């Protein structure tokens, strides 16, 4: 009996051991509030991102949102002929500046190259940045004054370039209220014209009746006013228009059946009795050459010729006879241009020739 009990205990012990051997031992179950996507997990992740962002602000303000970076962006915008991007880095750009356009920069003879920042000095909310760039095969040192605006979202610095002392072109054009700056037409009666820098500009004037050779200007810094004086010269189109006006004037004179045509600079004088209406024929039109005379534009004196035909009676002998006389005279005129209209005011160089 005792043996049976021992064997039973032994089997029981073995069975229990096998049962314990088959039991799985695992980690404690995770709390639901820490599962991925749970509110507490998301909150902690957000806090971590905020801490990381706050820690990166000083680094970004030094490396990315710095005065030097603003100047560098501005110079590259000018180099890319992107006037809009360049203007966005100024503190108070004037949208009415007609020369601050992509077209004015795209047509520039030279734009900055090899841009590099040389020195930066920060004093509170202001800064001065010195940069170097090549313009027209010459290295230029450029100085920019900047001001710090309220930070974006209260974190990142915003530096902009002060534009109160901006470079200008002071253009004077004799006889015109406009000029062309790198192909862009601008008014010159409104005062000096602001321009972006560093850049090169060709300032000229080209109209139907007048044109002026372009004057080259390199603008390399702020607070500069470049005086440009243009002296327009008459074009072939104006000479042709004056020639047409002169011919029309003489043709109109020749249509008058009188010895002294009204408003004309020639005539035929005689004391004899005129028996029939005189007729005039233009034999030679004057060659038109234009010249400046003080503030006026004039046609140089040139010879013209007309023939008068009539019949007259001698007041002494009563003899009647036909007259055919060539009248030669030197003609000049003041030229007046109003927009596209060309008008002449004729005058005679010398005395009227009489037969």
pLDDT digits (tens, 9 = 90+) for 3-43: 444 444 444 444 444 444 444 444 455 455 555 555 655 55
| Pairing of the two strands 184-187 and 168-173 | unpaired
Per-residue pLDDT at 37: 54
- For the chain, the structural domain boundaries read 62-161, 168-233, 236-348
What is the percent of the chain where pLDDT is above 90? 62
What is the percent of the chain where pLDDT is above 70? 76
153, 146 contact by CB (below 8 A): no
Do 168-233 and 62-161 fall under one CATH topology? no
d(CA 295, CA 224) in angstroms, rounded, equals 30
> Quick one: average pLDDT of 307-320?
95
d(CA 80, CA 148) in angstroms, rounded, equals 25
Q: Is 155 exposed, middle or buried (0-12, 13-18, 19+ CB in 10 A)?
A: middle
pLDDT tens track for 147-200: 998 765 545 678 999 987 789 999 998 878 889 999 999 988 888 989 999 999
215, 230 contact by CB (below 8 A): yes
Fold of the domain spanning 62-161: Nuclear Transport Factor 2; Chain: A, (3.10.450)
> Quick one: average pLDDT of 64-90?
91
Q: Please give the C-alpha separations between residue 137 and each of 55, 124, 134, 251, in angstroms, as whole numbers.
A: 44, 36, 6, 59
Fold of the domain spanning 236-348: Nuclear Transport Factor 2; Chain: A, (3.10.450)
Q: How confident is the model at residue 96 (pLDDT cuts 50, 70, 90)?
A: low
Strand partners, 193: 169
Question: Which tokens sit at 22?
Answer: 């088959």
Local structure of 337: helix, strand or coil = strand
265, 347 contact by CB (below 8 A): yes
pLDDT tens track for 236-289: 999 999 999 999 999 999 999 999 999 998 999 999 999 999 999 999 999 999
Where is pLDDT greater, at 58 or 221?
Answer: 221
Per-residue pLDDT at 165: 76
Beta-strand ranges (E) seen in 153-272 are 156-161, 168-173, 178-181, 184-187, 193-194, 199-206, 210-219, 225-230, 233-234
The verdict on whether omega for the bond into residue 198 sits within 30 degrees of 0, i.e. cis, is yes
Fold of the domain spanning 168-233: Immunoglobulin-like (2.60.40)
Of 43-47, 60-64, 240-244, give the range with the top mean pLDDT: 240-244
pTM, two decimal places: 0.68
Local structure of 306: helix, strand or coil = strand
d(CA 70, CA 195) in angstroms, rounded, equals 19
């Amino acid at each position: 009996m005792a043996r049976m009990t021992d064997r039973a205990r032994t089997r029981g012990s073995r069975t229990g051991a096998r049962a314990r051997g088959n039991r799985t031992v695992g980690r404690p179950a995770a709390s639901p509030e820490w599962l991925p996507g749970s509110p507490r997990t998301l909150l902690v992740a957000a806090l971590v991102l905020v801490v990381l962002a706050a820690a990166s602000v000083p680094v970004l303000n030094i490396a990315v949102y710095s005065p030097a970076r603003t100047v560098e962006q501005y110079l590259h915008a000018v180099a890319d002929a992107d006037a809009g991007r360049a203007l966005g880095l100024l503190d108070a750009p004037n949208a009415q500046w007609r020369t601050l356009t992509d077209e004015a920069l795209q047509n520039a003879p030279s734009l900055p190259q090899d841009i590099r920042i040389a020195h930066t000095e920060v004093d509170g909310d202001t800064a001065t940045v010195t940069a170097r760039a090549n313009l027209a095969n010459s290295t230029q040192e450029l100085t920019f004054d900047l001001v710090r605006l309220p930070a974006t979202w209260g974190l990142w610095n915003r530096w902009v370039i002060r534009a109160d002392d901006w470079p200008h072109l002071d253009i004077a054009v004799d006889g015109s209220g406009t000029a062309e700056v790198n192909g862009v037409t601008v008014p010159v009666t409104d005062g000096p014209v602001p321009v972006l820098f560093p850049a090169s500009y060709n300032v000229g004037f080209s109209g139907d009746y007048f044109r002026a050779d372009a004057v080259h200007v390199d603008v390399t810094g702020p607070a500069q006013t470049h005086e440009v004086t243009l002296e327009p010269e008459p074009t072939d189109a104006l000479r042709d228009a004056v020639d047409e006006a002169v011919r029309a004037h003489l043709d109109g004179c020749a249509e008058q059946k009188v010895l002294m045509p009204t408003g004309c600079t020639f005539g035929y004088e005689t004391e004899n009795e005129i028996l029939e209406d005189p007729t005039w024929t233009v034999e030679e039109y004057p060659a038109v050459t234009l010249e400046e005379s003080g503030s006026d534009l004039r046609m140089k004196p040139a010879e013209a010729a007309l023939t008068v035909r009539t019949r007259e009676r001698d007041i002494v002998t009563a003899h009647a006879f036909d007259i055919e006389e060539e009248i030669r005279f030197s003609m000049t005129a003041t030229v007046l241009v109003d927009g596209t209209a060309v008008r002449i005011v004729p005058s005679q160089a010398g005395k009227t020739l009489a037969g």
